[in-house]
Structure 1
Amino acid sequence: MVPIILATLILLWQAALVGYAFSLAGNSADEGARAGAAAGQGGGAQACEAAARKNLPDSWEADVACFVAGDLYDAEVDVVVPVLYPGFIDFSFTAPGRASAVWEG
């Protein structure tokens, strides 16, 4: 019975990590888009990436892309989903987060 309980706990923990990765990706993209839109034309990309990475814990890996799309400033954050512990082993898929903010300038 112990192996079944341990396997269930591991699966539940992994499901929580996947959900947390999606939450981190969405929040980081939102913060990045907001910072990029507030920074204006000159420093939007640097402000966007800095704000997006600021909200990610150090052991979590992510790809951040910031760009302008018409009147919107878009941020895309793809957080790598870890296996059991961040920084240990990573799955081959990422949790995507996308956000847009209207230019404030």
Structure 2
Amino acid sequence: MLARRPVRAQDRDRGQVAVEFVGMVPLILLLIAAVWQCVLIGYAFSLAGNAADEGARAGAVKGDPECHAAAGKYIGAAWNREVTCGVSGSVYKVTVKLNIPVLYPGLGFGSIEGTAGAAMEREE
């Protein structure tokens, strides 16, 4: 008969790290996707607010055509923006609506609105 070699504790754990790594990879990727989605939502809030501010400043001085141009200047076409400009009393108000992206700006997940206003000014 063949003599069996005694089993050491080190031999029982061989390959354990590889098994744990394979099991954790999907969880790590899911966590990365969730963090990326949160970054895109925050970026959409920032873009909508900035676009509304820019549009309100331009619209208060030069009117509606400049409002739409200024509001859309820094937002790419993939964000599917909707800009509403108008006067409310002595305040020029702008609302910018952006679709919330899902992992990529072209895929929709609801919408975010940014609003801003500026006091009416007219260039002479």
Provide the TM-score with structure 2 as the length reference.
0.77
CA offset digits 1:28-47 (Å, max 9, x no partner)? 000000000011xxxx1111
SS for the counterpart of 1:59 is helix
- What letter matches 1:90 in structure 2? G
- What letter matches 1:77 in structure 2? V
SS for the counterpart of 2:84 is strand
Work out whether 1:95 is the aligned partner of 2:109: no
Aligned to 1:71: 90
Provide the TM-score with structure 1 as the length reference.
0.91
Runs of 4+ in 1 over 4 A off after TM superposition: none
Number of matched pairs:
99
Work out whether 1:35 is the aligned partner of 2:76: no
CA distance in 1, matches of 2:51, 2:79: 12
- What letter matches 1:52 in structure 2? A
CA distance in 1, matches of 2:29, 2:47: 27
CA distance in 1, matches of 2:51, 2:80: 12
Which ranges in structure 1 are unaligned for 5 or more consecutive residues?
none
SS for the counterpart of 2:105 is coil
CA-CA distance at 1:58 after TM superposition: 2.8
Greater length-normalized contact order (CA 8 Å, ≥ 6 residues apart)? 1
Once the two structures are superposed, the pairs formed by residues 15-26 of structure 1 within 5 Å of their partners are 15-26=38-49
Q: Name the structure where strand makes up a greater proportion of residues.
A: 1
CA distance in 2, matches of 1:65, 1:58: 16
Aligned to 1:2: 25
Q: Percent identity?
A: 51
